[in-house]
Amino acid sequence: MLKATYLFITIFLLIGCAKPTVHTEKELDNITPITAPAIGVPPEPSNLEMEEWLLPKKNSRVRGAPITHVMLHFTNNALRSPEDPYDLEEVYALFEEYEVSAHYMIDRDGEIYLMVPEERAAFHAGKGHLLNYQEYESGLNDYSIGIELLAIGTKEEMLSIMPEDIYNSISPTDIGYTDAQYASLKILLEDILKRNPLIQNDREHIIGHHEYAPVRKSDPGELFDWSRIGF
């Protein structure tokens, strides 16, 4: 029963990454103000070597604003499968099942997966706000590129979505981030910034999910070393 309760919470948080509720995405589209400059020419596709593993189109929408930010996340399937929390098929199924998404996912070996083309808005940010961008409130999906890293945070960060005994059963090697992930993320960010000149290379424009939604999100978390990507 306890595990079922945590599963419900996890599902709620997954849905929260994308939209306020399952049934109000179109309503949010209608009420979110889009006051930034015109979108202009869509970004050129990346020339980086990566696997294309596109999510269904229902997991994204046509982008309604220029790209000005990048948001970093972590994701895993630890609640359902703590012994193998990074099975790619299972993680992909979570995105597909709950209609959430990100543009890119980086696995533990540093492999980059394209999940949503940059010209479409992925459902990854959900409700939130940025101090200097009030017009982006609960609308950052349109302005941002989302990157998921396969990782697990600290016990304190994860206890809201899984019981302590499950967290304690996870291998220490599965906690935090890998050198390969940092290396690939740095290369991917350099490529994104090169193709999207409105994204400035600073911590105001390259952010964690917790900076946009601090009450309900902690990723990429305390274990993420921002200095590894130049900050």
pLDDT in tens, the chain (231 residues): 445 445 444 444 453 443 332 323 333 333 344 444 456 567 888 999 999 999 999 999 999 999 999 999 999 999 999 999 999 999 999 999 999 999 999 999 999 999 999 999 999 999 999 999 999 999 999 999 999 999 999 999 999 999 999 999 999 999 999 999 999 999 999 999 999 999 999 999 999 999 999 999 999 999 999 999 999
Residues known to be catalytic? 148
Q: Give yes or no for a contact between 64 and 29, defined as CB atoms under 8 angstroms apart.
A: yes
Q: Which two tokens stand for residue 205?
A: 């424009």
Q: Give yes or no for a contact between 192 and 70, defined as CB atoms under 8 angstroms apart.
A: yes
- Domains annotated on the chain, with CATH: 2-23+50-229 (3.40.80.10)
The torsion angle over the Cα atoms of residues 16, 99, 57 and 117, rounded to 10 degrees, is 50
Q: Which two tokens stand for residue 164?
A: 């302590």
Q: How far apart are CA 114 and CA 148, in angstroms?
A: 11
pTM: 0.86
- Cβ neighbours of residue 59 closer than 8 Å, sequence gap 6 or more: 95, 96, 99, 100, 101, 116, 122, 123
The CA-based angle 11-17-22, given to 5 degrees, is: 60
